[in-house]
């Protein structure tokens, strides 16, 4: 049994095992880039996805959550841990240093200064071994320790991966302006699911102090209407320069922002205005600006009663046969091409949804409805009584991220130092031939910045 265990331990401590399972993980990542991860199988089939049977059997749309991927990563994790442990034992154990060497450089000594002083005091080496035969000095960061630190960095990366795999979850919340919300996640990590641990409310509350939408004014090229004139401009035959025009509704979304206030124990704790790629981080949770929601209150024939409608969704209005869709509600600040800004008059595009003979739906634009005015559809005057914009925040809990950042930086730094930093090990002794003292050297270098010939020149300079 001990022989088998020893055989298994050697396999886990082998570099071949590392290469094998790194190759398997590479295949996982390759397949994961081909098939849309997190996608729904029904949507995949509707969009013409291929190899449906294999996708279902092997769970290729959720590949990185499959037991096969987890087992492969775990075996590689054990392999790296054992390799790092074995390397650490080798680095800290006392090993016999062989001072026998074949000289690669011979320098005639014309100085009475002690040779050790030349290497240690003037060249900055450190003596690591000496006997009657020869001495060994070294300079620079030890590539062996750098390699071990690289292994530790990869090992910590795997711990971060496992923390993310077991505990991370992502959810979203919708908050209206001046609304303070207690957040109770509807999702949880895999470990909580396994032990049926119910999610808990966050120990703080989020308030949306202000939702900010911004638009740019986008000009369009004023091309001639007839094709021959366009061709003449394209070929440079027409001397008339290309001009631009700006329509009243030529708005392009520039940014949307949420000014969030955090309350803990009903006391102010933190405030930050977030936008896309600039999240709010608090209490181990990261809040991202994901999207926004727009709601309308619509009046009919100036009735005091208003009907709720959500932008981009069909609404049924009394007295109007077809359903209505309100799209592109524009409100906020417009950044104009001349550098000025102005407040946008709230407006929305109105579409009538009509059914065709084959039971399909077609949208026909009825016009633009501005706040404070009305639009007549089927003899009914509709208007906007009120509008609201809510922020949709995507939030994520991931305890593995800090460790992954630390480990990733550690791996990159140690790799860079391992590749570029200069390391020297010199074995030397002094022999006397024909009455002349000779310094014989054997130099070993590591790193792209190591200059063996330059070091020999420096030794020769001090040996004169």
Tell whether the model's pLDDT for residue 155 goes beyond 90. Answer: no
pLDDT at 21 over 80: yes
Distances (CA, A) of 236 to 42, 230, 241, 243: 51, 10, 10, 14
* pLDDT of 262 above 80: yes
- The count of residues in the chain is 464
Does the predicted model carry a pTM greater than 0.85? no
Ranking 173-187, 211-225, 380-394, 406-420 by mean pLDDT, the lowest is 211-225
pLDDT in tens, 43-85: 777 777 777 788 787 777 777 777 888 888 888 888 888 888 8
> Residue 268: which pLDDT band, with cuts at 50, 70 and 90?
very high
pLDDT at 249 exceeding the cut of 50: yes
Instruction: Give 390-439 pLDDT, tens digit per residue.
Output: 999 999 999 999 999 999 999 999 999 988 999 999 999 988 887 788 99
CATH fold label, 97-140+422-464: TATA-Binding Protein (3.30.310)
* 318 dihedral zone (left: phi>0; alpha: psi -120 to 50; beta): beta
Burial class from Cβ neighbours inside 10 Å (0-12, 13-18, 19+) for residue 125 reads: buried
- Kindly state the percentage of the chain with pLDDT values over 90: 40
CA-to-CA distance for 98 and 135, rounded, in angstroms? 10
Among the listed residues 206, 210, 208, 218, the one whose alpha carbon sits nearest the alpha carbon of residue 332: 210
Residue whose tokens read 């030349």: 118
Where are the chain's structural domains? 2-86, 97-140+422-464, 141-168+399-419, 172-397
């Amino acid at each position: 049994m001990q022989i088998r265990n020893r055989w298994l331990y050697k396999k886990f401590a082998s570099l071949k095992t590392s290469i094998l399972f790194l190759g398997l993980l590479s295949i996982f990542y390759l397949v994961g880039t081909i098939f849309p991860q997190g996608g729904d199988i029904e949507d995949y089939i509707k969009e013409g996805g291929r190899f449906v049977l294999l996708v279902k059997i092997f769970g290729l749309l959720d590949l990185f959550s499959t037991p096969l991927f987890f087992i492969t990563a775990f075996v590689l994790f054990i392999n790296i841990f054992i390799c790092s442990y074995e390397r650490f034992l080798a680095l800290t154990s006392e090993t016999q240093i062989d001072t026998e060497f074949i000289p690669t450089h011979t320098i005639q000594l014309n100085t009475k200064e002690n040779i050790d002083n030349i290497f240690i005091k003037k060249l900055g080496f450190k003596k690591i071994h000496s006997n009657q035969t020869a001495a060994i000095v070294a300079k620079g960061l030890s590539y062996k320790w750098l390699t071990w630190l690289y292994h530790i960095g990869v090992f910590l990366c795997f711990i971060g991966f496992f923390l993310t795999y077991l505990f991370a979850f992502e959810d979203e919340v919708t908050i209206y302006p001046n609304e303070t919300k207690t957040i109770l996640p509807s999702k949880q990590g895999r470990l909580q699911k396994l032990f049926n641990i119910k999610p808990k409310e966050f120990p703080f509350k989020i308030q949306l102090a202000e939702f900010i939408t911004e638009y740019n004014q986008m000009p369009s090229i004023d091309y001639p209407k007839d094709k021959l004139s366009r061709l003449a401009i394209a070929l440079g035959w027409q001397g008339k320069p290309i001009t631009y025009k700006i329509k009243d509704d030529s708005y392009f979304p520039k940014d949307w922002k949420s000014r969030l206030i955090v309350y803990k124990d009903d006391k102010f704790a933190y405030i930050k205005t977030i936008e896309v790629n600039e999240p709010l981080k608090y209490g181990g949770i990261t809040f991202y600006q994901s999207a926004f929601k727009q709601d309308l209150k619509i009046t009919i024939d100036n009735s005091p009663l208003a009907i709720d409608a959500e932008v981009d969704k069909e609404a049924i209005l009394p007295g109007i046969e077809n359903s209505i869709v309100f799209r592109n509600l524009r409100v906020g600040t417009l950044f104009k091409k001349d550098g000025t800004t102005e407040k946008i008059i709230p407006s929305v595009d109105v579409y009538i949804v009509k059914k065709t003979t084959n039971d399909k739906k077609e949208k026909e634009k009825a016009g633009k409805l501005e706040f404070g005015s009305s639009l007549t559809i089927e003899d009914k005057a509709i208007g906007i009584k009120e509008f609201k914009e809510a922020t949709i925040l995507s939030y994520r809990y991931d305890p593995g991220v800090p460790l992954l950042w630390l480990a990733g930086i550690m791996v990159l730094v140690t790799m860079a130092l391992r590749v570029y930093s200069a390391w020297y090990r010199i074995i030397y002794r002094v022999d006397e031939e024909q009455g002349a003292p000779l310094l014989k050297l054997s130099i070993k270098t590591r790193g792209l910045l190591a200059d063996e010939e330059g070091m020999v020149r420096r030794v020769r300079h001090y040996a004169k």
